[in-house]
Amino acid sequence: MIHPFRIDVPDKTLEKIRTQVADYPWHEMPDDGGWAYGTHLGYMKELCAYWVNEFDWRKQEAAINRFSHFIAPVQGIDLHFIQEKGDGPSPLPLIISHGWPGSIVEFLDIIQPLAHPQRFGGSEDDAFDVIVPSLPGFGFSGRPGRPIGPRKMAELFNRLMIDVLGYSNYLAQGGDWGGAISSWLGFEHAPACQAIHINILTMRHPDGPHGPEEEAWAVQFERDQLLEDGYRTQQATKPQTLSYAMMDSPVGVAAWIIEKFNSWSDTDGDNIESAHTKDSLLTNIMVYLVTKTFNTASWIYYGRREEGGRLLSTDNRRVEVPTAAALFPAELLAWPPRSYVERLYNITHWSEMPRGGHFAALEEPELLIDDIRAFARTLR
């Protein structure tokens, strides 16, 4: 049922991408627009020059292949995942879920410290069995027959952990869509999912905000999202239309994704490389390109809309398993007051981070690792 897997992208695929990037017909934008109109033209030209002349996919592919990869069918979908078994007599199973426009690439620097803490100055008592799946329709996982959202993905991941890998219980962690998936795991798949750790608040309460502080957050949240909602609306309503252009344009895919890594990260001004390297950005983008999954990855937005959107429940039920909230200050989806969050989750661990943004595992891996470990100690 479980099959070993290794990433080995054909040379022909890599050469086609390189040629398309090299031959891209650059068009004009206002010179003074910066990032205000979307992805910065000057930066895209710089990134693409690096992509063509210096970026080494084979080096990045080898780094990803250092881990043990597997494919397993779950309810008719071939799920890809990394499994790094932890040290010591009782490592805690931990499933970490990425989101959009991320991938397993986000977690490459935190897998080994979580599984083998003693190699990084920590204690073997904090070890995890780390499972990092590619979401259905993303990267190296198979696609569903039609769009599904995070609630259904949580069901698939619970089956992966329990039926395929044989764990009786586990901890779930995630940001972006991984935060929504983890929320559904805690809400609908306890006690197998014994606790969750999230670094984003994606869910909403049916009663809305209570009191002046929560109401002020809700108003500000909507205001902050005005210039961020375009991609989300498109992918939640007409993802197929977008895909016709993106499936044939590596530069288009890169620009669509790079914009989010700039505006959602804790950068120094608009210097995206104060938070991310070119190699990291391009490796993540390449995962979408070499697997031709830009289209099916966007389906999750459509799927969530069909599942009911951000609403966790209609009857005021909350996630009752122990929940850790890690608040990174530059998170795109600004956290509400703790009073609101506690009506959605059984908050037992609350951490306000000194820095970092949406892509916590890439931006501040040590802060994230330390917080996951601290929370897990309360569960062991």
Across the chain, mean pLDDT equals 96
Per-position b or e across 137-148, b if 16+ CB within 10 A of its CB: bbbbbbbbeebb
DSSP 8-state code for residue 85: P
Q: What are the angstrom distances between the C-alpha of 45 and each of 21, 264, 372?
A: 10, 21, 38
User: pLDDT by residue (tens digit) across 323-342?
Assistant: 999 999 999 999 999 999 99
Q: pLDDT-derived band of residue 52, with 50, 70 and 90 as boundaries?
A: very high
In this prediction, residue 25 has a pLDDT band, given cuts at 50, 70 and 90, of very high
pLDDT tens digits along 126-173: 999 999 999 999 999 999 999 999 999 999 999 999 999 999 999 999
| pLDDT average, residue stretch 225-254 | 92
Residue 310 has pLDDT above 70, yes or no: yes
What value does the mean pLDDT take over residues 349-374? 98
In this predicted structure, the answer to whether residue 234 has a pLDDT above a threshold of 90 is yes
Nearest residue to 235 (alpha-carbon basis) of 294, 284, 289: 294
Amino acid (1-letter code) at residue 68 = S
pLDDT of 30 above 70: no
Domains in the chain: how many in total? 1
Q: What is the pLDDT of residue 27?
A: 84
Is pLDDT at 227 greater than 90 in this prediction? no
DSSP 197-219: EESS---B-TT---HHHHHHHHH
Q: How many CA atoms lie within 13 A of 31 on its CB side?
A: 0
Which structural domain, as residue segments, surrounds residue 312? 3-377
- Whole-angstrom distance, CA of residue 155 vs CA of residue 189: 8
Residue 322, preceding peptide bond in cis (omega within 30° of 0): no
Average pLDDT over residues 187-212: 97
Position 34 confidence tier, pLDDT thresholds 50, 70, 90: confident
For residue 32, is pLDDT > 70? Answer: no
For 78-95, how does the pLDDT look when each residue is reduced to its tens digit (9 = 90+)? Answer: 999 999 999 999 999 999
